[in-house]
Structure 1
Amino acid sequence: MTTDTRTKMQIQDEIMRETADLREIHAALVRLRPKSKAPIEAEWTTQPALTGDAFLATLKPGENVGIRLGEPSLTPYGYLGGLDCDVRKPEAKAEVEAALLQHCPNAMELPSVISGSGGDSRHIYFFTPVPVASWTIAKGDGWELAVKGTGTQLVAPGSIHPDTGQPYRWERPFDLLTWELTGAPVVDVSLLQRPERESRNAEDPLIAELLGKTSTFSPADLQELLDNIPIEATDHGSWLQAVMAVHYESDGADWGFEMVDAWSAGDSRLTDKGKPMYPGTRALRRQWNGFKDKGDSITGGTLRSLARAAGWLPWKADDFEDLPPCLRP
């Protein structure tokens, strides 16, 4: 397959043309590494949304562009969301299309972008009155269909695919002139929202344990562990692990969010640019809502390990006061 031989300036000009409608409706954009899907800024999900000319002022020749979805992209038509139709095997096209139409019956009428991968993969865009969360609808042998919402981004048209060197391009572009008269296409939000996950803290503890969904960490346990992890001693990685652990154990509930928000707000440090190390409640909420269920990888056990590394012990000295001194820990 022939790769793109255009100069960096030519690529940037193409991206500017292809993203003109996105900028006009104030969709949030993010800089990506050249010929990559990866954002340049490590903490891009917590950065203020950049739209229109303000974004263009930051873009450098050769860089790809991503479209931030969900809460950062509030447009005149609602919040911008996406469907990532990843087709890695040609024979899987019919299967992914069936799953797509089940959850979005008018998908073939919505704006869409052809992936630069050279296959049948597509990005489909829609608007909703409330931002949607990211989740995987279905997947099979050689394909996957996922909703992309708050905390995620999709590569914008005009950008270059990292493997093929080919550009992403519009299949069905935004039709702003028609939408001014008729409104943007409407989707059934209920079909695109992530189903409520069965709580790990079920009313019947025995059934919950049999299902493997019982959390062994109560809210009080989690609060104690956080209280013993000095916020100003954390780096971004350990802070993120702590937040994700509480998200897992609280099943993403508001009480878990409020707990980590209060803990994080105790950080008085500043970044090298003089900004608060903790970007605030709204930024945390965007990140919190964007977390996916990562199985058992980051749980309360991770939080306990962070607390122990900071000096916390799972017992108190007076728990052993009846033991001889030689047996006390």
Structure 2
Amino acid sequence: MAENENAHGVRDRGRKGTTNRETEPARAHGVNDAEPRPADTPSFEAAADYRRVRLDLIPLRRRDKMPADRRWQERVYEQGEVLERARRDGLNLGVRLPADVVVVDVDPRNFPAGRDSLAELAAAFDLPLASAPHVLTGNLSHPGHHFYFRKPAGAVLLDSVEGFEGVEFKSLGRQVVAPGSVHPSGGTYRWAPDSPPLPDMPELPAPLIEAARRPERKSVTGAGEITAEQLAASLEHLDPTDFREHDAWRELMMACHHATDGAGRQEFIDWSTSDPKFSDHEWIVGRRWDSLHTDRDAAVTIATLRRRLSEVGADIAQPDAAEDFDVWDEVEPGEERRRWNFLSLDEVESLPPPRWLVPGVLTEGSLAAIYGAPESGKSFLAVDMSMAIAGGVNWHGRQVERGGVLYIAAEGAPGLGKRFRAWKVDRCAQGRRFDLHLMRDDLNLAAEKDGGVRAFVQAVTDELGPLSLIVIDTLNQTAAGADENSAKDMGRYIASMKLLRNATGAAVVVVHHSGKDLGKGMRGSSALLGAMDTTVEVERATDGRSIKVEVKKQKDAERGSPMRFNMEKVGDSLVLRPTVMEVMEGEFAGGMDPILELARQEANERGGSIPLKELAAIVCERDSVSDKTARRKIEQAVPDGRSNARATIDGFMVWLEPMDARNPRLGILVRTEG
């Protein structure tokens, strides 16, 4: 091995003692970094901040950064119980990160000598640190930082970017310590004094997302055979000091990466850095692990890990059977936990409002039903919304939240390909990426034994990545042997929908039939209606060409006016096109014009404005109309002058104004302002 080259294949640069550069990175960007203070017990005042933005709190070990429970990524935590347990046992709290939040985790100890990686990252990618909610990590000797940002849910990031040592990106599948927790050194994790509120997380800059985006890897046979917990237990049999020779260490890392399909990153870092010689190499080990995500082939597999373990008389650790049960590890046998969770008036008022997946129709993480008579067009509506969400395309003038979609096609699957193709042609979206998955296997969500359902849910979470919407088409075909009029049978079906919702965070929508009398709503037990957050009725007109779509139940918001669509032929299928889009009452008033919403979307994508002629060209292509007709539509929807601006669904103001007031011949701009 070359002189000064460590077992991890990186030349040692030397490590300076604690200097001001370890406490300065945040100050350099206008953040006030107060001195950490010693603490004996955690504080839980900050918990409400996370509940407002729907971030899950999880229990951590006492004065530690590690989760208190195994399989914490999969557990469903009730926040009141988490807080009660943490207060009772003096535990720290962690934040389980969802797909659309990323924490920039800064550890100045890993900065190269004489450099400030945080400042360099901010300069290279225009990272708005001063506007990001900011937590000081509590290490008394080496203060670090957590900066919170939003990101697209579908963008999966590596944990580090080459050239910026000491900076990591944590998102889905990871957790960070919550403010109020106690660091092992005795300091307290706390909000920086001038941190913006947590709901005000800015977007992570697009160039940084691209630089950190995880490359797609082809499937490798046998990858992911064991869990991260099994890896940690297996590595306990191996002495890290026996792997100081670089090639042996790298071979073992590759074997562990293959064995967990990349999920054992932190466990391998912890094992590697338990060697006192490399105790400060967290970032280096993590970066080497991340580099394996770009490898196209797995030359070293889990077999190498098995061989190394057999050399010391051990084998891969087997999963603990107790992990199959969702139990509290810290609760003593026979100890009785309180079942009730009481909220104060302040806590109730601070609960976050529902976030729209499809504005006015469907909220995130909800249970919903689309129902109607046979041939009413309800499946066309489900496909229409699924494609809009999977592609991030506005849904008839309403800006959706883009995300992954799973469409469970238990009925009519052979015809769905034609519908998807027609939809893309109609929206001129043939080249757009759609994060949509189709499943057509048999599935029974009302089975008396839920083992099959749990196995299905596990497969969904393991294989499909983040999801925003799951469509079950139809209830009848996924409830074999169940009596739709039985509250008990439908109770099992509802429990399965909730299990899917809780495991994925997605809105779960079931397509169902109405009874013989449409006025009586959905067919079957009233338990189904009672469990739904939203129900949408689809009724076909007598002309056979148009449908009426009406939200009949909206648990957490006002119901809007009915929407009407024509079912028009495109290619060898049908698509929905709006006819009379009646203006909704309340918060959506004035924001339902599809042209107005299109103008807002296109102008925002171009920095706040778009030339009228360019928007007209988009309308021409989308609606197959002449330039004159397109301009007339735009001018009817978008008023002249800032003082006459119209508001969209999400509160943006849109108006027309000359590019140059002194020379109107230069053309007209469509302007938008949030």
TM range (shorter): 0.5 to 0.7
Instruction: Show the counterpart of 2:139.
Output: 117
Instruction: Show the counterpart of 2:70.
Output: 42
Check 1:271–1:95 CA distance in 2 against 1; reply closer, same or farther (3 A cut).
Answer: closer
Check 1:134–1:86 CA distance in 2 against 1; reply closer, same or farther (3 A cut).
Answer: farther
Alpha carbons 2:58, 2:93 under 8 Å: kept = yes
Distance in 1 of aligned mates of 2:228 and 2:119: 43
Q: Would you say how many aligned residue pairs link Structure 1 and Structure 2?
A: 228
Please give the secondary structure, in 2, of the residue aligned with 1:136: coil
Between structure 1 and structure 2, the one with the greater Rg is 2
Q: Which has the higher contact order (CA 8 A, sep 6+)?
A: 1
Q: Select the residue among 208, 212, 215 that pairs with 1:197.
A: 215
Unaligned runs of 5+ in 1: 72-78, 202-214, 253-267, 291-329
Distance in 2 of aligned mates of 1:133 and 1:92: 31
Q: Select the residue among 74, 88, 96 that pairs with 2:109.
A: 88
Alpha carbons 1:30, 1:50 under 8 Å: kept = no
Check 1:40–1:277 CA distance in 2 against 1; reply closer, same or farther (3 A cut).
Answer: farther
In the alignment, does 2:38 pair up with 1:4?
yes
Instruction: Show the counterpart of 1:166.
Output: 187
**Aligned partner of 2:107: which letter?**
D
How far the C-alpha of 1:48 sits from its partner, in A, is 2.0
Alpha carbons 2:158, 2:214 under 8 Å: kept = no
Q: Alpha-carbon deviations, 1:39-97, whole Å to 9, x = none?
A: 0112111212544x3532443341011111123xxxxxxx3221111111685562332
Please give the secondary structure, in 2, of the residue aligned with 1:46: coil
Q: Alpha-carbon deviations, 1:182-205, whole Å to 9, x = none?
A: x6533324523533437579xxxx
Q: What TM-score do the two structures reach when normalised by structure 2?
A: 0.29
Q: What TM-score do the two structures reach when normalised by structure 1?
A: 0.54
In the alignment, does 2:324 pair up with 1:271?
yes
Q: Alpha-carbon deviations, 1:113-138, whole Å to 9, x = none?
A: 11111334111101224165352333
Check 1:101–1:160 CA distance in 2 against 1; reply closer, same or farther (3 A cut).
Answer: farther
Check 1:277–1:174 CA distance in 2 against 1; reply closer, same or farther (3 A cut).
Answer: farther
Instruction: Show the counterpart of 2:650.
Output: none
Instruction: Show the counterpart of 1:64.
Output: 92
How far the C-alpha of 1:246 sits from its partner, in A, is 7.8
**Aligned partner of 1:237: which letter?**
Q
Q: Alpha-carbon deviations, 1:260-287, whole Å to 9, x = none?
A: xxxxxxxx99935699699655556656
Instruction: Show the counterpart of 1:186.
Output: 203
Instruction: Show the counterpart of 1:317.
Output: none
Distance in 1 of aligned mates of 2:186 and 2:172: 28
In the alignment, does 2:177 pair up with 1:155?
yes
How well do the aligned residues superpose, as a CA RMSD in angstroms?
A: 4.6
Alpha carbons 2:149, 2:202 under 8 Å: kept = yes
Check 1:284–1:92 CA distance in 2 against 1; reply closer, same or farther (3 A cut).
Answer: farther
In the alignment, does 2:149 pair up with 1:126?
yes
Q: Select the residue among 125, 129, 135 that pairs with 2:158.
A: 135
Distance in 2 of aligned mates of 1:166 and 1:235: 29
Q: 1:221-232, aligned counterparts within 5 Å?
A: 222=222
Distance in 2 of aligned mates of 1:244 and 1:285: 21
**Aligned partner of 1:271: which letter?**
D
Q: Select the residue among 145, 163, 167 that pairs with 2:167.
A: 145
Distance in 2 of aligned mates of 1:108 and 1:47: 34
Check 1:116–1:245 CA distance in 2 against 1; reply closer, same or farther (3 A cut).
Answer: same
In the alignment, does 2:108 pair up with 1:55?
no
Alpha carbons 1:116, 1:167 under 8 Å: kept = yes
Distance in 1 of aligned mates of 2:216 and 2:201: 34
Alpha carbons 2:157, 2:213 under 8 Å: kept = no
**Aligned partner of 2:173: which letter?**
G
Aligned identity (percent) is 21
Instruction: Show the counterpart of 1:326.
Output: none
Distance in 1 of aligned mates of 2:122 and 2:137: 16
Unaligned runs of 5+ in 2: 1-34, 235-254, 263-292, 295-320, 328-449, 466-674
